Amino acid sequence: MHSGIACVAAPCICPPGARAKTPSNSCASPEGHRDSSRPYQPRFSAPLSAFRLNLRHPLFFALYSRMQIHIKVILPGFSRARKNAGAQGLRTPAEVFLELARRHSAAARKPEDFALNAAGRVTNKKRTHSMNDNILLQTSGMQIATRSGKPLTLRGVGLGGWMNMENFITGYPATESLQRKALQKALGNDGYRLYFDRFLDVFFGDGDAAFLASLGLNCVRLPVNYRHFEDDMKPFEFKEEGFLLLDRAIERCARHGVYTVIDLHALPGFQNQHWHSDNPTHWAFFWSHKHFQDRVVHLWEELARRYRDNPWVAGYNPINEPGDASGTALYPFYERLHEAMRGIDQNHILFLDGNRYSTAFDIFREVWPNTIYTCHDYGLPGFVDGGDYPGVSRGQFVDRDVLERTFLQRTEYMRRTKTPIWVGEFGPVYTGDESKDEMRYRLLVDQLEIYRKHGASWSIWTYKDIGLQGLVYADPASPYMQRIRPVLEKKARLGVDAWGSTDAGVRHIMRPIEETFRREFPDFQPFPWGQDSWVKVLVRHILLAEPLVDDFERCFQGLGGEQVITLADSFRLESCIRRQRLLDILRADTARF
């Protein structure tokens, strides 16, 4: 246990007469709104003579965080429950608490409360919810529509950086797994759990869902990492806490009339060659190992089983940006996955990404019912090294006409098969230079106009980050940003983020390697993006990025519980800065529907 960590809002059930010992500065209210002037005190009308409660103990915090039990509902019941405990055969305080938790969970799942609760999980064979045809989405020719027949265009945003983290979104180097190992080493097990429990709660709260709805958005794509649901050392054994996190986000969105798409963004064995699949290498092993494929089928069967009765789930996005270098493994796996999932859930839409990071669709052989083939549509001028718009980017002139031609090429399969178009990812990154960013906003406006012209649904990337691309972003003056500032500066200097940095500071390293490859291996063009991209991944994004993880770890060493909570709270919506120009563009576009 890390000596500097004091768990917050974590109750302990102590034996009668025992006195809980916790630091006086470690208290917070169950809802997370800490009053620093006094410790949180639970409100009891009378003392509990049978047992005492200590809201700072990790046991209660874990139960609260992972079971999603509203403490204001649970605690007032303790006095009543204590009186009735004997009659119910409940002898210990823990048994009383768990019985109250069970009752509260059951009460929250009443069918008549579905529109508000909307978790829609099925934890046993008896289904607790009926589908609502006015909410449930399905495909109807080239449109998305409710099952009752009302057409709907999905206008949404991706929730990157939450259940699937990326280095440019929250500032760490390399991959999510390496970041997590570094934080666990720096904070200790208790501090690590405290940080991520808080971070995962505040990064997307009820207020975030309400805010997105206020912009006119009606869908959130939820990228998830498989590690939330199972461990590599315990394959096929599910971790309930991952499903509870997903439940919470789906419920928060549904409460505000917002659909969700579940997107498996990182697969065991890595489905593509880059960091965003939590891949520390440049190889996608998923396509050549049946074990990894079996685990993904098993996971999607469980996800389909749990959410098949939830109409607020728009559908399932089984593989984000596949990178099948052979071009022969993706479709057979899709066939297998389609059969497995449709054996459980025929009602929800399947969103299938094309190969080569969702840009190539020649692998598909037949059109499946209730299925959308999704493209990703990033414009060259919107990349971190993009040029003027209109103008030249990476040696190509790009204007609105070029954008539209590129979109039509990427969606040719959908238009030919007369299936709906959903752009699963798009959107520029921003530089901080007002004139350059104005060109990127122009790029975005043109893309949205093209999508509207061709009846395409879309999901912009991404909602919240540290300032590169998000609709909102962490304040540079926030505790988290101040703490990692030296790492951010070093990352920029060495160009280690593929999405958020250039190689300007390391050209003296990159140039001779690139020249050597062009001279010695002129025909070497590896999948997916060729020789130069391959060299950048190996040198900048792996060789130079991994040692920086140690620098990131040192930023968090020696922190106590209050400090850990404060860092995570830097990502609360109330603490973030809103990118107003971007919000105005989205609000204006959604108002036209």
Do 215 and 87 lie in a common domain?
Answer: no
Q: Which pTM does this prediction carry? A: 0.81
- Please tell me the predicted confidence (pLDDT) of residue 131: 82
3-state secondary structure of 131: coil
- Give a yes or no: residue 215 inside a domain: yes
Phi and psi at residue 512, to the nearest 5°: -65, -30
In this prediction, residue 66 carries a pLDDT of 45
Active-site choice (176, 321, 553, 562): 321
User: Is the Cβ–Cβ distance between 281 and 176 less than 8 Å?
Assistant: no
Strand ranges inside 229-388, DSSP E: 259-266, 313-317, 349-353, 371-376
What interhelical angle do 507-520 and 531-538 show, nearest 10?
Answer: 130
Residues 98 and 162 occupy one common structural domain:
no
Same domain, 263 and 384: yes
In angstroms, the CA 115 to CA 312 distance is 9
Q: Specify the range with the lowest mean pLDDT, choosing from 63-72, 126-135, 352-361, 528-537.
A: 63-72
How many H helices and E strands in the chain?
Answer: 21, 18
List, in sequence order, every beta strand (DSSP E) within 226-322: 259-266, 313-317
CATH code of the domain in which 234 resides:
3.20.20.80
Q: pLDDT digit string (tens) for 191-224?
A: 999 999 999 999 999 999 999 999 999 999 999 9
The pLDDT of residue 593 is 82
Could you give the percent of the chain with pLDDT greater than 70? 78
- Confidence tier at 374 by pLDDT (50, 70, 90): very high
Q: Say if residue 419's pLDDT is above 80.
A: yes
Query: Does 28 reside within a domain?
Result: yes
Q: Which residues contact 33 (CB under 8 A, 6 or more apart)?
A: none
Q: Which residues contact 190 (CB under 8 A, 6 or more apart)?
A: 1, 2, 5, 7, 58
Residues 199, 81, single domain; the answer is no
Is the Cβ–Cβ distance between 548 and 491 less than 8 Å? yes
**Do residues 329 and 422 both lie within one domain?**
yes
Q: Are residues 90 and 164 in the same domain?
A: no
pLDDT score recorded for residue 110: 35
Note whether residue 500 is domain-resident. Answer: no
Q: Is residue 501 part of a domain?
A: no
**Residue 122 binned pLDDT confidence (cut-offs 50, 70, 90):** very low
Active-site choice (230, 251, 425, 553): 425
Give residue 17's pLDDT.
37
Residue-wise DSSP of 446-485 = HHHHHHHHTT-EEEES-SEESSSS-SEEE-TTSHHHHHHH
Task: Give the C-alpha separation, 265 to 80, whole Å.
Answer: 46
pLDDT at residue number 130? 59
Same domain assignment for residues 95 and 191: no
Domain co-membership, 100 together with 163: no
Q: Are residues 86 and 222 in the same domain?
A: no
Q: How confident is the model at residue 54 (pLDDT cuts 50, 70, 90)?
A: very low
In a domain, 491, yes or no: no
Whether residues 361 and 289 share a domain: the answer is yes
Note the pLDDT tens digit of each residue in 378-398: 999 999 999 999 999 999 999
Q: Considering its fold, how many domains does the chain have in total? A: 2
In DSSP notation, 181-250 reads: HHHHHHHHHHHHHHHHHHHHHHTT-HHHHHHHHHTT--EEEEEEEGGGT-BTTBTT---HHHHHHHHHHH
> What type of residue sits at position 46?
A
Residues 471, 384, single domain; the answer is: yes
Over 90: is that where the pLDDT of 510 sits?
yes
Same domain? For 99 and 155 the reply is no
127 or 586, higher pLDDT: 586
Domain membership flag for residue 231: yes
* Residue-range definition of the domain harbouring residue 51: 12-108
Per-residue pLDDT of 433-457, as tens digits, reads 999 999 999 999 999 999 999 999 9
The yes-or-no verdict on residue 236 having pLDDT over 80 is yes
- The tens digit of pLDDT for each residue in 250-293 reads 999 999 999 999 999 999 999 999 999 999 999 999 999 999 99
Higher pLDDT among residues 101 and 590, named by residue: 590
Is residue 295 in a domain? yes
Each residue of 525-540: pLDDT tens digit? 999 999 999 999 999 9
Boundary (domain end) residue, out of 108, 123, 149: 108
57 pLDDT tier (thresholds 50, 70, 90): very low
Mean pLDDT computed over 298-307:
98
pLDDT digits 0-9 by tens, 159-194: 999 999 999 999 999 999 999 999 999 999 999 999
Which of 5-9, 158-162, 176-180, 305-309 has the lowest average pLDDT?
Answer: 5-9
Residue 321 annotated as catalytic = yes
Binned at pLDDT 50, 70 and 90, residue 102 comes out as very low
- Go through 287-297 and write b for each residue having 16 or more CB atoms within 10 A of its CB, e for each that does not: beeeebbebbb
Higher pLDDT, 494 or 68: 494
d(CA 88, CA 103): 13
Predicted pLDDT at 26: 35
| Residue 120 pLDDT grade (very low, low, confident, very high; cuts 50, 70, 90) | very low
For the chain, give the percent of residues with pLDDT over 90. 78
Q: Where is pLDDT greater, at 220 or 122?
A: 220
Q: Does a structural domain hold residue 542?
A: no
